[in-house]
Amino acid sequence: MKKLAIIGLTLCTLTAFAQENKDSLRNKVTDFKYRISFPAIILGNIGKGGERTNTQHIEFHVKQELDSKNIIGVKFATWRLFQPMGIQWWDGLLDKIDSETEFYPGYLRETGIGVSYQRMLWKGLFASVEVLPQYKTYLDLDNKKIANGFKLYTSYHLGYHFAFGKKKRIFVEPQIHCQNWMIDTNTPDEFKRLDNKWKNYFLFEPNLYVGIKF
């Protein structure tokens, strides 16, 4: 009987300790309500300089954790397109980059500030949506402005959140996303001729975001 009492007391003590440790860890994680992240793909442009296919992509996100399930954020992004974004993988996207058959007679620079919403679904699994109004600038091959326009760019993401370190401040988010742009105005004819051959959406783009919580 005495042994059973000792075992029972020990189990209760361990259970209480485990719960306290779990609560402490949870509190440490949720102490960091804000996060900054960027897509690792932008690192691929470093060192490309003035190459024709350099997208000059810059993007970062600032997000706030409302609770354990809901995260809102602000997104800033700018990039330079050298061919239509709507060419799908199965349309021979990579081959067309190599052959340069669908290249614009210049470049399209798109820049915007938008909003995002991220919902944690199960453990690290999440879904998110981003809305990015963009100011468009069309340039010739000498980087002289041709025209300006507007695009409403939206993207839909499914990914997984992996956190590292003692306080789980560093994280990566591998994901796949789809995007579309239903509103796209004032496209010059020579650019529009190429855009009209392809879709106003792009499917199944893989990506990896890297970030830190604070």
Q: Is the pLDDT of residue 22 over 70?
A: no
Q: Is the pLDDT of residue 11 over 70?
A: no
Q: Is the pLDDT of residue 27 over 60?
A: no
* pLDDT band, residue 195 (cuts 50/70/90): very high
Among candidates 212, 96, 103, which has minimal Cα distance to 165? 212
The tokens for 4 are: 């059973």
Per the DSSP assignment, residues forming a β-bridge with 201 are 180
Among candidates 26, 27, 30, which has minimal Cα distance to 213? 30
The tokens for 60 are: 């970062």
Share of the chain above pLDDT 70, in %: 86
Among candidates 36, 78, 43, which has minimal Cα distance to 61? 36
Q: Is the pLDDT of residue 12 over 60?
A: no
Average pLDDT, stretch 167-177? Answer: 96
Q: Give the chain's mean pLDDT.
A: 88
Q: Which H or E run includes 162?
A: strand 162-164
Can you tell me the distance from the alpha carbon of 81 to that of 86, in angstroms, rounded to the nearest whole number?
A: 11
90-135 residue pLDDT tens: 999 999 999 999 999 999 999 999 999 999 999 999 999 999 999 9
Tokens 């059973």 belong to: 4
Amino acid at 195: D
9 or 57, which is more confident: 57
* pLDDT band, residue 31 (cuts 50/70/90): confident
> Can you give the pLDDT at residue 30?
57
> Can you give the pLDDT at residue 4?
34
